[in-house]
Amino acid sequence: MRMRFGPPGHARDREALKGVTLDRGVLKRAWGFARPYRLVILGFLATIVVSSLIGLLPPLLFRAIIDTAIPEGNRQLVVVLTAVTVAAALGSALIGILQRWLSSVIGEGMIHDLRVALFDKVQRMPVAFFTRTQTGALISRLNNDVIGAQDAVTGTLGSIVSNVIVLATTLTTMLILEWRLTLLALVVLPLFVLPAKRVGKVLQSISRERMNLNAQMNTQMTERFNVAGAMLVKLYGDYDDELGDFGNRAARVRDTGVRQALYGRVFFVALGVVAAVGTAVVYGVGAQLVISGTISLGTLVAMAAYVTRIYGPLNDLTNARVDLMTAIVSFERVFEVLDAPTSIQDRPGAVDLVEPLGRVEFDHVSFRYPAANVVSVASLEAPGSTDELPAGPPPEVLHDIDVVIEPGREVAFVGPSGAGKTTLASLVPRLYDVTAGAVRIDGHDVRDLTQTSLHAAIGVVAQDPHLFHESVAANLRYARPDATAAELERACRAARIHDVIVALPDGYDTIVGERGYRLSGGEKQRVAIARMLLKDPAIVILDEATSHLDTENEAMVQAALDDALRHRTSIVIAHRLSTIRDADLICVVDDGRIVERGTHEDLLALGGLYAELYLTLVGETAPTR
C-alpha cells in the first residue's frame, strides 16, 4: 500500500495550478499511454485492495485474543490467532513486493514510452525550433515532466485508490465495532487539518523559492562546466569571484533547505501529536465504556489501533485534487511538445531521390524565416519570451534567387556577413522551406522528395563541425554505420587526417571530447571531411569550411577538399575569396539578392562588389574595367 504522508500541496505549487481544469482530452490521451499496461494496472489496483483488507486483520485478531482466547484460557486458540497474525504480516509483505514490482513495470514502462515519443518528435523538428528553444527547458520535459506524468498513474492513482479503500474499510469496521468512539476520533481531525494547510502554504512558498534558486545554481554550473565556458572563466574570469557567486547561491539553497526541513518536521510532529491525542481520547473514553461494561477490552484495543489508520488517508484525500491537477499539468507539458508544429515533413506521395546526379536549381527563390508560432513552443523559449509567440511573418531575407548548378560543377556564394549565403545553402537539404519559387535537385522539387533520400544525397562541412563525445571511429561511422575499418582509413587518407588519428593514444578508438575539443580546428575539419567522404554524397555544401583556420591548416584542408569535391556538385560559401578563385561560377549575394555573377576574372574585371571585397580581404588591387 502506498501512502503519502505529507502536508497539503507539499512540493507542489497551488498557485501554479490555479486555472487548471480536468481536461477530458488530456485524460484520454494520457490513458492512451497507460492503455498498454491496463492489465498490469488492474493487478496493481487489486494488490492495493487486498493489502488494505489485510491491514484490517491484526486489530481484529488482537481483539479475539483479548476477548476470547485469554478469558477462556484457550492456549490452542492463542496459537492459531497468533499464527494467523504472523501469516497476515507475511502476506502483506509479499503483496507489498508484488505491488512495488507492478508499480515499477507501469511507471518505468510509461517513462520509456513517453521519452521515446518525445525524443522522436524533437529530433524531427525543424532547425528553426532549435534556434528558439532553451535546451534546459527541453531536457526538463524529457526528464521531470515525464516522471511527473508517470507518477499520475503509479503515484496519484494508486494513492487515491489506496486512501479511499483504507478509509472506507477502516471507518466501516470502526463504526461496526463502536460508533461513538469512531465519531470521537473524527472530532480531533480539524486540530490537524487546519494547521497542516497553513504549514502546506508556507512549504509551497519555500519549495518554489528553492526550485528557482536551484535553477540559478544549475545554470551557473552548466554554463561554466563545459569546455567553452571553462576556457572563458580561465581567460577572463576570477576563480574567487566565481566561487563567491556560486557559494552565495548554494548558501541560499542551504538556508531554504533548512527551513523546508523544519516546517516539514513540524507537520510530521503535528500528525504524530494528533494521532497520539486521538488514541488517548479513544483509550480514555473507551476505558470508561469498558469499566461500565458497554464494550469489551479487546474492542477498545482494536479501536485504538484503527484510529491511527484514518488520519493519514483523510489528509491525503483533502489534497487529492492538487495531486491530480499536478499530474494533469505534467501530461499537458509533455503533450505540448508532442503537439508542437512540425513544419518540415514529407508530403503525401513523396518519392525517393534515386541515384542523384547532383543538378541543383534555385528557381526564383524567395524566403523569409517562419513565424515563431509555426516552429516553436512558447514555454520552451528563452527567459523573457512572451506567453504567446508572435504570429506575424518576419521580413523576407532572400529575394528572387535564380541559379542553376550543373552536376559536378562548383558554385561559390560570397558577400558581406548577413547577406543570406548560409540561409540560401540551408534550403538545399530542406532545413527550411522556401517562401516562393522552388529548389530542385535533378528536376525534383525538394518538397516532393523524402527527407531521408534528400539528406542522403547531400554532405555538409560547416565552419565549426560538430563531433560527439565519442571515439573518432564512432564519429566517422555516424555518416555510415556499416563502414569497415578499411573504408574509414581510405576516407581519412583522402581527407589528410589518417596520420594524425593513428598518432592519437588509442588511434581510431580515441575519444575526441565534447564537441571534439581534443582535436585542433583543422583536425576537426578534416575529420568532418572524412565523414562526408564516407557518406559519398552527390552534392557537397561547404559553409565557411576554412574561415577559422591558420595558413598551414587551411592548405591541408583545402587539399583535402580539392579531392573531396572532384566529380561532385559543390556549393561553397566563403569569406576567404582566395579559396574559390577556381570555382566554375561565383555569385555575389548582398541583402538577399544576387547582385553579380561570373568567374573570378570576370568579376574582378567588373570592378563591383566582388572586386571591392577581394581588394579588402585579399589585399590585391583589382584591375579596372
Which of 381, 378, 397, 399 lies closest to 389 in space, CA to CA? 378
Residue identified by cell 563531433 is 467
**Sheet bearing 569-573, strands edge to edge:** 458-461, 539-543, 569-573, 410-414, 585-590, 593-598
Over residues 346-367, the pLDDT tens digits come to: 999 999 999 999 999 999 999 9
For cell 461494561, what's the residue?
293
> Which domains are assigned to the chain?
14-338 (1.20.1560.10), 468-536 (3.40.50.300)
103-124 burial, b at 16+ Cβ within 10 Å, e below that, comes to bebbbebbbebbbebbeeebee
CA angle 310, 311, 316 (to 5 degrees): 105
Burial zone of 556 (CB within 10 Å; 0-12 exposed, 13-18 middle, 19+ buried): buried
Average pLDDT of the segment spanning 295-304: 90
- Tell me how far CA of residue 92 lies from CA of 95, 96, 306, 447, 598, in angstroms: 5, 6, 17, 62, 85
C-alpha cell at 431: 532545413
Give the HSE-up count for residue 112: Cα atoms under 13 Å, Cβ half-sphere: 8
pLDDT of residue 548: 57
Look at strands 585-590 and 539-543 and give their pairing: unpaired
DSSP state of 393: P
- The CA-CA-CA angle for residues 353, 359, 365, to 5°, reads 95
pLDDT band at 193 (very low <50, low <70, confident <90, very high): low
With a pLDDT cut of 90, the percent of the chain lying above it is: 32
Helices 57-64 and 297-318 sit at what angle, rounded to 10 degrees? 170
When pLDDT is averaged across residues 184-206 and rounded to a whole number, the result is 70
Of 280, 290, 236, 296, residue with least CA distance to 71:
296
> CA–CA distance from 85 to each of 65, 79, 81, 486, 540 (Å)?
11, 10, 6, 71, 77
Task: Report which listed range, 21-30, 274-283, 415-424, 610-619, is most confident.
Answer: 415-424
Question: Helix, strand or coil for residue 3?
Answer: coil
C-alpha closest to that of 386 among 130, 136, 135, 132: 132
Cell numbers standing for residue 430: 530542406
428 SS3 class: coil
Residue 191 reports pLDDT greater than 50: yes
Of 81-90, 249-258, 347-356, which gets the smallest average pLDDT? Answer: 249-258
Write the CB contacts of 545 (distance below 8 Å, at least 6 apart in sequence).
461, 462, 463, 525, 529, 557, 561, 572
Cβ-contact 107, 327 below 8 angstroms: no
Burial-class residue 90 by CB neighbours within 10 Å (0-12, 13-18, 19+): exposed
In terms of Cβ atoms closer than 10 Å to its own Cβ (0-12, 13-18, 19+), residue 78 is middle
Res 476: pLDDT: 93
Question: How many Å apart are CA 146 and CA 115, to the nearest integer?
Answer: 7
3-state secondary structure at position 457: coil
Q: What is the pLDDT of residues 542-574, one digit of tens each?
A: 888 766 555 666 677 777 777 777 788 999 998
* Residue 368 pLDDT level (bands cut at 50, 70, 90): very high
Tell me which residue of 404, 10, 366 sits closest to 207, measured CA to CA: 10
Torsion from C-alpha of 120, 123, 125, 126, nearest 10 degrees: -160
- The type of residue at 112 is H
pLDDT at 501: 92
Please name the residue that has the C-alpha cell 484514518. 310
Residue 554: per-residue pLDDT: 67
Nearest residue to 339 via CA among 312, 387, 367, 373: 373
- Per-residue pLDDT tens over the stretch 439-462: 999 999 999 999 999 999 999 888
Q: How far apart are CA 90 and CA 96, in angstroms?
A: 10
Contact residues for 580 (Cβ-Cβ < 8 A; gap 6+): 410, 412, 414, 572, 574, 586, 600
| pLDDT tens digits, one per residue of 484-533 | 999 999 999 888 889 899 999 999 999 988 778 788 878 888 898 899 88
d(CA 398, CA 176): 82
